[in-house]
Amino acid sequence: MSGRGLLRRCKFCGKEIKPAEGMMYVKSDGTIWYFCSSKCRKNMINLRRSPKRFKWASV
């Protein structure tokens, strides 16, 4: 089994997340968001920022 299918993308910056790394956020409607770091998670959820406005976020 190759590990190729297990890579996830960060919801905020688009960076690939390896297995056993990053964070998974489950919304109340059942939608699952993956984040590579707390920086991305805080910007998306707590501060409600759009990744289009940041150069370091390439989404």
- List the domain boundaries for the chain: 21-48
In sequence order, the β-bridge partners of residue 35 are: 23
HSE at residue 9, side-chain half, CA atoms within 13 A, is 7
Mean of the pLDDT values across residues 35-52? Answer: 92
pLDDT given for residue 5 in this prediction: 65
Amino acid at position 53, single letter: R
Distance CA 4, CA 17 (A): 11
CB 45 within 8 A of CB 31: no
Summarised one tens digit per residue, pLDDT across range 1-37 is 455 667 899 999 999 999 999 999 999 999 999 999 9
